[in-house]
Structure 1
Amino acid sequence: MKKFTGWIVFNGHITATKFTELFEWLRDTALTKGIDVTLVKHYELIPVIEKGQAKLKGKYENQRPDFVIFWDKDVRLARHLENMGLKLYNSARTIEVCDDKALTFQELSNYGIPMPKTITAPLLFPNCNLTNYDFYDEVEKELGYPLIIKESFGSFGRQVYLIENREELLKKVDELKHVPHIYQEFIESSRGTDIRIQVVGKQVVASVLRKSESDFRANVTNGGKMFKYEPTKEQIDLALKCSEILKADFAGIDLLFGEDGLTYLCEVNSNAHFKNIYLCTDVDTTKYIIDYIIEDLELNA
Structure 2
Amino acid sequence: MKFLLISGSKARKEVSKHLISEAKKYFSTVLSIPLDGIRVECVGGENKLFFKNTDLTKFDACYARLFSEDFLFGECVLDILESSGVYLPTSSEAFQIVNHKYYTVQTLCKSKLPVPTTSLSVSPQPTTKISRTVGYPLVVKLLSGFGGRGVMLVQEEQDLVPLLDTMQVFKEFVATQEFIDKGDDIRCYVIGDNVYPVKRIAKKGEWRANVSRGARAILIRIPDEIKEIALKAAKIMGMDISSVDFIKSSKGWLILEINFSPGLMPKFFGKKFAEIIMKHIFNRTKEIKLLP
Q: TM-score with structure 2 length normalisation?
A: 0.87
Give the letter aligned to residue 257 of structure 1: K
The residue that corresponds to 1:182 in the other structure is 175
| Equivalent position of 1:111 in the other structure | 111
Q: Are 1:194 and 2:194 counterparts? A: no
Against the structure 1 CA distance between its residues 219 and 230, is the aligned structure 2 distance closer, same or farther, given a 3 Å change threshold?
same
Q: What's the secondary structure of 1:25's corresponding residue?
A: helix
- Give distance in 1, aligned partners of 2:53 and 2:222: 43
Q: 213, 226, 233: which one pairs with 1:222?
A: 213
Match of 2:70 in 1: none
Aligned twin of 1:286: 274
What's the offset of the Cα at 1:241? 1.5
What residue number does 1:252 align with? 243
Q: Which residue in the other structure is 1:55 paired with? A: 48
Which residue is equivalent to 1:31?
24
Cα contact 1:198–1:252 (8 A) shared by 2: yes
- 1:197-233 deviation digits (Å, cap 9, x = unpaired): 1110111134233333312211122232223322122
Q: Where do 5+ consecutive residues of structure 2 fail to align?
A: 68-73
CA distance in 2, matches of 1:33, 1:81: 21
Structure 2 CA distance, aligned partners of 1:222 and 1:58?
34
> TM-score, structure 1 length as denominator?
0.85
CA distance in 2 between partners of 1:60 and 1:86 (Å): 18
Partner of 1:268: 258
| Deviation by residue 1:154-179 (Cα, 9 ceiling, x = unmatched) | 11102110111111111111122212
Q: Tell me how large the CA RMSD over aligned residues is.
A: 2.2
Post-superposition CA distance 1:117-170 (Å, at most 9, x none): 111122xxxxxxx6xx53124222331111110111111102110111111111
Structure 1 Cα separation of the partners of residues 270 and 139 of structure 2: 33
Q: Which residue of the partner structure matches residue 130 of structure 2? A: 139
User: What residue in structure 2 maps to residue 9 of structure 1?
Assistant: 6
If each structure's helix is expressed as a fraction of its own residues, which one has the higher value?
2
Q: What is the DSSP-based 3-state SS (H/G/I as helix, E as strand, rest coil) of the residue aligned with 2:97?
A: helix
Which amino acid is 2:231 matched to? Answer: L
Which stretch has the larger CA shift, 31-40 or 58-67? 58-67
CA contact (8 A) 1:9 1:42 kept: yes
Query: Which amino acid in the other structure matches residue 182 of structure 1?
Result: A
Distance 2:236 2:39 in 1: 31
- Count of residue correspondences: 280
Q: 1:245 Cα shift?
A: 1.1
Q: Does 1:237 align with 2:228?
A: yes
Structure 1 CA distance for aligned equivalents of residues 238 and 51 of structure 2: 31
